[in-house]
Amino acid sequence: MQSSIAPNCMVVTPHHLATQSALAILREGGTAIEAMVSAAATVAVVYPHMNSIGGDSFWLIVPPTGDPIVIEGRGAAGSLATLDFFKDYKNIPFRGPKAANTVAGTVGAWEEALQYVSECGYQRMSLSKLLADAIKYAQDGFPVTKSHYESLKNIQAEGNVPTDFGRVFIPNGKIPKVGETFCQKQLASTLQHLVENGLNSFYKGELAKLIAEDMESLGMPITKSDLTNYAPVRKVPLRLLHSHGEVFNIPLPQGLVSLTILGILDKLGIDGQHEGQFVHAAVEATLQSFKMRDNYIKEHMKTDPNLLLSSQNLFKMAKEVNLDQFSGAHPCKGPGDTIWMGIMDNKGFSVSFIQSIYFQFGSNMVLPRTGILWHNRGVAFNLEKDHALCIEPGKKPYHTLNPAAARLRDGRVLVYGTRGGDGQPQTQCAIFHRYVVQGKDAQQAVTEPRWLYGRISGPPETTLKLEGRFNAETINYLKERGHDIVMLPDYSEHTGQAGLLVRHPDGNMEGAFDVRSNGSAAGF
């Protein structure tokens, strides 16, 4: 399987319809940023088990010149989300109105990204064009994917399916079959309202009033004032000085993890020629990075993350890596149902983007008059008073989302990423290292067998999961070093749905998609 290469633009998404939406905007002269808004709207409709306009998103934009920027579309806990609100609970429930406790930030982040387009001197394309495909697929329908179908089976098996969720996603009590046309007509009307009244109407105005009233009726702790007070935030990305160039990620704990893993492997001089050694070293670097992250959180993230990414600190962490033996278990934070997408245009913009509802179908709460499925990112909070992650009104939740990018010394620009909770840094490591350090083809770097340390779902666990295509020599090497191995299918969604785009110095752009998804990489 070979990468796709094109001279003018390149797109990779986990659903081919979202890829086509982005290409349509690029063909009309739109920027990669505008194309991403279109793809984000479409994928929110056609991949509803993984993301929604009722979720969060993060942007990492690499401009033609100058420093990359981050746009954080992360909502805060509602003003009613007090400890007293959860007084009858030991933990925040994974599903239901109490799980839907934070504002959805993604639509506001779309608007902020489009504002950046204007600031760069480009005339913005109309929302009617950017959201046209999403509205059409919501109104007229789209074919159900296998992962959509399987996710609904999982939800139904959990039991206690909320009424409005069942009405929208399991009509007449029957899960739509793979390939069956599925519509979300209420959501189509909501998207049309955004076109006519602007993206900020999600937070202010008549639509916001409807959303707030529905949330109140469902028992969610978010109010209209919480929506009104929401604003996306621009930030400076974290930067790792790697021997092959600069690697960027978002300034939240998980972005720090992703960069630290790459930094440790770089200091160790792991070249990846021995697959077993590479995987073992990557797992050990992951353990070191997770420990650092958890300490960083306990300290209320007061340490300057740039100090943690310093060469001195990375050398110190590298010395703690045991290349001969598994050093011991460290629990991971678990799953994440998310989408990553990348777009490059002929104007020099490269975009790495993640949109998420956290768990499959988020909180399962569908707002009855808008058809919006709300996320459950607030499950990342806890109910331990004085803990760094204790929920409180206005506080933002811990996030695993971390879109990545790089500028290499040889002139190449990369954007890459994946879905998958604590699997994200591990899959990012596999892709970056195989492509940049090992020199493999972009598509090969994305397709080759991957690993996942930690749990897929349920209680924390510390097994090392390997896709079935790893050879016996690698598997035995890892077992001999003390890893508790669990074998996955040859191609497993549990190792993420990833992608990689490369802008070469000659101007050509290369794209690699993940066969574990329903996606594609395409350009023109």
The catalytic residue positions are 338
CA distances from residue 196 to 25, 108, 207, 227 in whole angstroms, order as listed: 19, 16, 11, 19
* Element housing 287 (H / E): helix 275-298
d(Cα 353, Cα 413) in Å, to the nearest integer? 15
Distance CA 110, CA 117 (A): 11
What is the H or E stretch that residue 4 is in? Answer: strand 4-6
- The Cα 301–Cα 395 span in angstroms is 14
Say if CB 131 and CB 41 are below 8 A apart.
yes
Residue that is written with structure tokens 């992962």 in the block: 147
Cβ neighbour number for residue 494 with a 10 Å cutoff: 18
The two tokens of residue 411 are: 């002139």
Q: Identify the bridge partners of residue 11 per DSSP, sorted by sequence position.
A: 343, 522
Rounded-to-integer distance, Cα 185 and Cα 202, Å:
18
Question: 14-29 b/e with 16+ CB inside 10 Å = b?
Answer: bbbbbbbbbbbbbeee
